[in-house]
Structures are given as structure tokens and as C-alpha cells.
Structure 1
Amino acid sequence: MVKNTSKQLPIPPHFNAVQVEEVWRVPYQDRAKEAQEWTKKHQIRPATEDETRVCLLLIDVQNTFCLPDFELFVAGQSGRGAIDDNVRLCKFIYHNLGRISAIVATLDTHTAMQIFHPIFWINEAGEHPPAMSSISGEDVQQGVWRVNPAVVPSVGKSDYDTLQNYALHYVKTLNLSSKYPLTIWPYHGKLGGIGHALVSAVEEALFFYCIARSSQTRYEIKGNNPLTENYSVLKPEVLADAEGNPIANKNTNLINYLLEFDAVIIAGQAKSHCVAWTVADLLTEIEAKDLTLAQKVYLLEDCTSPVVVPGVVDYTEAADDAFRSFAAAGMHLIKSTDTIEAWL
């Protein structure tokens, strides 16, 4: 049992579920005062006093994925997927304020000139590939798409030929080892932009939690390497160039941090992509250490949705299959309405 506050807490009066699908400024000073008053009213103790250490890992709960007017809204089959997920997520955080010991929030973080964005590639006509298209090894070998010479100074390679050779290596590597070929994504999660920010209602919940529990949210940047995709927060898709020289590293510090907790609860977007691949990478690390550690991982099934584009693609079945495989390995599938005591 969690020592400090084992009971489920009420939802603070400031929370408005209707606002979850809107962008707004969190009134930090007001929320800080209210959180301190909430702490006294409900006798909430600092997270450092928890006997059972529980971490909540939130994957990419950002405007770019969670709001309909943004670039990669995760609609799910309902058409409101990420919106309704975040209503439940906020309620889960508030109800379990006294049980959660730490929160980690990942931020998908991009600039324009990255290998998965249109400007990185060009064809003989000087055109860039359209968003949501894919590029194969054969496309690069045959010159259908080649590296745009104008991006070379911006992506850390010394000359055009070196970057072109790396790009061919990259798409070939994805074809052999990744879940999908190279996808050209629309510009999204741009560092410095509104899309990069956490959903306002979730940011508010995290700030309120931080003050109430004296537990600083840990923010993890992913996806900012221009030479590789980074669906999982734990490992980029490609780690080395054709000569074996490293271009990126596993997030070993975060892996070790998560596995120190008694329980790790995971939610966020999208269930079929960044959530599934983060959990898969965590499971790989667990299998290398001790498979029984999988039993400390809990997946909030009603706080994550798959990518669904009606008439184009539906990853619901693939996402559900992935979650079933995680459960078969020992992880737990839970709902936000479940009580933490029931499964710890």
C-alpha cells in the first residue's frame, strides 16, 4: 500500500473536461496556491515518503497528436480518441494524486530538416515527397528520391556524398529491421511551436501534481536527431551509419530509472506507434535483465488510441495485437477507473 494517501481523491474544482480539447494558458500561480491548499485539506504527503514507488510514464501527450486542428491528431475509431483519452488521463492523475510517486512526460521534438520530413528529399523535378508517403531503399538506389543538397549544412554531415550514402543505408536498414519503411511525416511537433506543447489540461494536471506532491515532472526529449526516427523514447530506429559509427544511443538512463520503481503505468499517443514501440523496447530491456520485471508494468488501455485515418489506414488491430503480446509477457492491461490498490 502507498503510505501517504491510499484513498482515491476527488477531482479539484478547477478541472473542466470541456477544455481538454482547447489550447490555453495554465494560471500557474493560482494552481500552485490551490495545490498547496489541496495538500493540507487531504493530508497529502510528499512523494519521497511513498512506501510503494509508482511512476506514470506519459508518451507524447502533445497538441500535435491530441487536438483535431493539429497535424497528426490521433482520432482512433471514435474520431475523438486522444481527446477522450486525455479527459480520462487527467481524472486518473487527480484521483491518484497521492499514489503516484513520479511522472515522466516525453516530448516528440522536431525541426524542419530531418530525414522523415519532406524538405530532406528531392526528385529530378525539384519536388519534395508528399506527407504520408514512404521511401524505400529501391527509391533511393534508383534516384526516384535523393537527399536535398540544401539540407547538408543543417544535419551534421560533412558533404553531400556522405549524407546521400547515409540516407541509402538508413532506408535499407529500416526495410530490414523496422516496423515500417521510412515514412515522410507532415511537419509536426516543431520545437518552439504550439504543437510541441503538452495539452493544456494535462500540463495543468502535471503542474498541480508537482506542487501537491513536491515531485518534479521529468521531461524526456525524443525525435530531435535529424538522421533517425525515434518513435520509442527508449531507442531510435537506427543507431549507427554504414561503417558502424554511432549516430544515436539508447536512452539507458531512462530505462534504468523506470525499472527502479515498484510499478510503471504507461499512457499516451499513439497506441499503435510511439506507445507500442516504447513498451516493446522496455520489454526487450526487461527480457535481457529479468522477465519477472514485466509484472511491474501497467498499460492504461483507455488513455491511449491507435492511428486511424478513415478510408486510408486503421491500426486498431495492430495496436490491440501488440498490447495482447505485452500482456502475454506479464504486463498488465488496466483501466483508468481501476483502483491502484487493486493491482499493486
Structure 2
Amino acid sequence: MIIDPQNDFCDIPKNKYQTPTLPISGSNNDMERLGKFIYFNINIISEMTITLDSHFSMDIAHTCFWKRGDNDLEPFSKITSDEIIKGNITPKTKYNKKQIINYFEYIEESEKEGLTIWPVHCEIGTWGSNINNYVQAPRNIWEEINSKKANVILKGLDPLREQFSALSKDNRKNKKCINNKLIKYLDKYDILLIAGESSSHCVKRTMEDLIYNSSRKDPHSIMLLTDCMSPVNGYEKNTKDFLLHMESLGVTITNSTEVMSILK
């Protein structure tokens, strides 16, 4: 399962044709290692699931959705329902303000924090939403050689809800809905390898949804490839705590080199 291996998250050298909007340090090298791993195991990998962050520009977690005074909100701001109620921060859109406040109050209760506001990223139809070529090229070869298609899952399509994990989403009634169909699909396979970006957010949330809702009897058969994922800059501790927690639950913490001996 490859989580959000998209250009906007990769620290690809910038030029006038390609500028990642939310680059994660080390992520381009992560994708290169992951691509090589797929090449080397082209006949061993039986299935491939890829999740893709997929947003509209006007998204509740994007800077351009909000204004502070006359200005757009700064990237990486964290805002709360109280700030919206007081009018310190206001949505630019004509969406129901009460509904937005209710959503903020819901996530503050469930997650004990406000909403982080990101630069516009993985906008549908843009270069940044595309799969990094280090992964896309071997994916194409894997599909051709095995006469299969990767299972591609889009997430983040609701402009009024944040969605880090493809295994769950919050509906408009502020209820968390688990994607049990996808979890059941992932449970079929004897070994499940997890890679992608970012380890501090989307990988973390996906793994939490998986481990707490899976019927898999042996958590050791879920393996995190730590050299094929990196944290959002400034969230390194989140990743460290996440990996320790997963290890305590029995998940195998490994990398793309070590896992080769397991697959053989």
C-alpha cells in the first residue's frame, strides 16, 4: 500500500515547470528507494494499492479558503472554532458558517487540537497531484508484467472536511465513517507493506485506522518501510512516537532492504 506518493509532497528540484507546494525533506529519495524496491520485486508483489490526496483549490484545510483581516491565512497556521466565532479568521466562501464551526468543534473534541492549514496542494488535475515518476514508472511495469491494475483510491475530495486517511472520513454530520471494504481487501494478503508520505500525517492516520479496525490476526505481517517515508518538516517527533506505538502493537518496523530477506 503506497500512501500519497505525489509530486507536491516530494522535494524535487524546482524549476519553472514543476514546483512542489508542500515538499517533505528526503521524500524524493524515499520514492526512489520505493521505486527500486518495486522493480526488484516485480514478480513477488501480488497487489498494489495507491492512495492519492485529491483536493480542490478551495478546501477547508488550504490557505486560500480563509482570511485574517484582508490577507490569506499563513501556511501551517492552526486555527480553532473560537477564532472563527470571534471573527478573527473568516472563510472566504459562501458555505454555511455554522456548519464550519460545528466541524471545528467536532475535531477539537475528537482530536484535541485545531485544524492545520496547508498550502494549496495536490489540486486535482495539476502536476503536483501526479504520482512521482520514481513510483509511477515501476508501477506501469508491474501492471504490464502481471496483467493487473493498481487499486487507486482518491481521498480529500470533500472541500469541507480534512481527510488524512483513505480508510476513514468524516461525513457532513460529523461522524467518522470507516472504509471497512478497503480494510477487508487489505486483510486478504499474508504480508502488507506500507510506504509513502508523510509518516507524520497520512501514513500515521492510515495505519491507526487499519490497526484498530483490521481483523488480521498477526500484526507482525503489517510492515512499515521506514526508508520509504518521511515526516512533514517540524513533525519529526510525531513520526518517532507513531513508530514506537506501532511497534508496541506488534507492527513490524523495517525498511526496503531488510524486508527483502523476509519476502524470500
Task: Say which is worse superposed, 189-198 or 64-73, in terms of deviation.
Answer: 64-73
Name which of 4, 7, 24 aligns with 1:74: 24
Deviations 1:304-323 (A, max 9, x none): 11112xxxxx2222202111
Q: How does 1:140-179 map to 2 (within 5 A)?
A: 140-148=84-92, 151-152=93-94, 160=95, 163-178=96-111
How far residue 130 of structure 1 moved from its aligned partner, in angstroms, is: 1.9
1:250 aligns with 2:178: yes
Q: How does 1:14-93 map to 2 (within 5 A)?
A: 57-68=1-12, 69=14, 70-75=20-25, 81-93=26-38
Aligned partner of 1:296 in structure 2 is 221
1:316 aligns with 2:261: no
State the SS of the aligned residue for 1:107: strand
* One-letter identity of the residue aligned with 1:103: M
How far residue 339 of structure 1 moved from its aligned partner, in angstroms, is: 4.4
Aligned partner of 1:306 in structure 2 is 231
Larger Rg: 1
Determine if contact 1:89/1:336 at 8 Å carries over to the other structure.
yes
CA distance in 2, matches of 1:146, 1:328: 42
* One-letter identity of the residue aligned with 1:74: I
Deviations 1:281-305 (A, max 9, x none): 111102xx46x34232110011111
State the SS of the aligned residue for 2:71: coil
Name which of 164, 189, 193 aligns with 2:126: 193
How far residue 341 of structure 1 moved from its aligned partner, in angstroms, is: 5.0
How far residue 212 of structure 1 moved from its aligned partner, in angstroms, is: 1.0
CA distance in 2, matches of 1:282, 1:118: 30
Aligned partner of 1:105 in structure 2 is 50
How many corresponding residue pairs? 258
Deviations 1:150-201 (A, max 9, x none): x33xxxxxxx5xx111111111122121264211111110100000000112
- The 4+ residue runs of structure 1 with deviation greater than 3 A are none
* One-letter identity of the residue aligned with 1:107: L
CA distance in 2, matches of 1:103, 1:226: 27
TM-score (norm 1): 0.71
Aligned partner of 2:256 in structure 1 is 336
Aligned Cα root-mean-square deviation (Å): 1.9
Aligned partner of 1:132 in structure 2 is 76
1:239 aligns with 2:189: no
* One-letter identity of the residue aligned with 1:336: S
State the SS of the aligned residue for 2:48: strand
Name which of 122, 135, 142 aligns with 1:209: 142
Determine if contact 1:65/1:269 at 8 Å carries over to the other structure.
yes
Task: Say which is worse superposed, 270-279 or 111-120, in terms of deviation.
Answer: 111-120
* One-letter identity of the residue aligned with 1:305: S
How far residue 86 of structure 1 moved from its aligned partner, in angstroms, is: 1.4
Determine if contact 2:30/2:228 at 8 Å carries over to the other structure.
yes
How far residue 66 of structure 1 moved from its aligned partner, in angstroms, is: 1.1
Task: Say which is worse superposed, 324-333 or 65-74, in terms of deviation.
Answer: 65-74
CA distance in 1, matches of 2:117, 2:259: 41
* One-letter identity of the residue aligned with 2:120: Y
How far residue 332 of structure 1 moved from its aligned partner, in angstroms, is: 0.4
Aligned partner of 1:156 in structure 2 is none
Determine if contact 2:50/2:152 at 8 Å carries over to the other structure.
yes
TM-score (norm 2): 0.91
* One-letter identity of the residue aligned with 1:184: I
CA distance in 1, matches of 2:66, 2:254: 42
Aligned partner of 2:17 in structure 1 is none
CA distance in 2, matches of 1:179, 1:89: 34
Deviations 1:44-69 (A, max 9, x none): xxxxxxxxxxxxx0001000001343
CA distance in 1, matches of 2:228, 2:204: 13
1:120 aligns with 2:120: no
1:259 aligns with 2:179: no
Deviations 1:208-238 (A, max 9, x none): 01111122111110111111101111112x3
How far residue 240 of structure 1 moved from its aligned partner, in angstroms, is: 4.1
State the SS of the aligned residue for 1:270: coil
Percentage of pairs with the same residue: 31
Determine if contact 2:64/2:120 at 8 Å carries over to the other structure.
no
CA distance in 2, matches of 1:214, 1:343: 21
Determine if contact 1:297/1:331 at 8 Å carries over to the other structure.
yes
CA distance in 2, matches of 1:201, 1:121: 35
Determine if contact 1:115/1:228 at 8 Å carries over to the other structure.
yes
How far residue 250 of structure 1 moved from its aligned partner, in angstroms, is: 2.9
Aligned partner of 2:155 in structure 1 is 222
Task: Say which is worse superposed, 220-229 or 314-323, in terms of deviation.
Answer: 314-323
